[in-house]
Amino acid sequence: MEALSRMISALVTNGFICGFQIGSLSRGITTISHLLFADDTLIMCEIDPDQLRAVKALLLCFEAVSGLKVNYDKSELVPIGEVHNLRELAGILGRKIASLPMSYLGLPLGIAPRARSIWDTVIEKVERRLAGWKRMYLSKGGWTTLIKSTLSNLPTYFLSLFPIPASVAGRLEKLQRDFLWGGLGEEFKFHLVKWEMVCCPISNGGSGIRNVRVFNRSLLGQWLWRYIKEPEALWKTVIENKYGGLGGVGVLEKLEGPLE
């Protein structure tokens, strides 16, 4: 993949394809032509048949020199904005056509980051997992362990990237509360302890179950820490070119409000 990355960069350097440019002359411009994750590759270029032919030729060369083969059945052409000659462009690469919004590496693309619909898949996973558990064979300690080891971890990926809406956080907490205090059937059971107390650390008399809102804020706060500690990271360069440079404590104050 390192060789493929250098080949794509060579196409950009020699003007065969143009990647996605972010920033301005005053802030700096970053050109992103491709992103790699394990065996998954995302290549970006303009709506130009010649550029797609260059990408096609590059992939053929890569197959010849590496002995690997591109799986076109799992490859898709995703237009951004209105594209009039989409069928012609797709015919050059021989790939399927997809559209935004879509799911990429388990995350939604083309959806507003604060939209509630992003969390539908997370809630469905939690509900499916709850439906498969036989609570009648578990003690309160067993239910607590399942919440801490499984239910609390299912939304972690999304919680580390998106601020959770209050309605979604309330829904997830309700599912956990009903599972903890529910009986063998669907009848209502009184909650013997406040949920805030249940989410307290064990050393403070709680059960150590994570509070969804606090956990979300903690995970998002790690990006502020990484912003300062990873000066050469690509994602940081993109943010600075698009929104302007921030430094030191100013990052925390601008993104999170005044420090207390």
Where are the domains positioned within the chain? 2-99, 116-216
Q: What number is the average pLDDT over the span 154-166?
A: 92
244-253 LR contacts (CB < 8 Å, sep 24+): 244/27, 245/27, 251/224, 251/227, 252/224
Is 246 or 91 the better-scoring residue by pLDDT?
91
| Amino acid (1-letter code) at residue 149 | S
Q: What number is the average pLDDT over the span 174-199?
A: 77
Q: CA 241, CA 2: separation in Å to the nearest integer?
A: 25
pLDDT given for residue 7 in this prediction: 94
pTM given for the model:
0.78
Q: What number is the average pLDDT over the span 177-181?
A: 84
Is 253 or 203 the better-scoring residue by pLDDT?
203
Percent of the chain with pLDDT over 70: 90
| Cβ–Cβ < 8 Å for 110, 164 | no
Q: Which residues contact 77 (CB under 8 A, 6 or more apart)?
A: 86, 89, 90, 93, 95, 96, 97, 98
Q: What number is the average pLDDT over the span 33-52?
A: 90
CA dihedral 54, 57, 58, 61 (to 10 degrees): -160
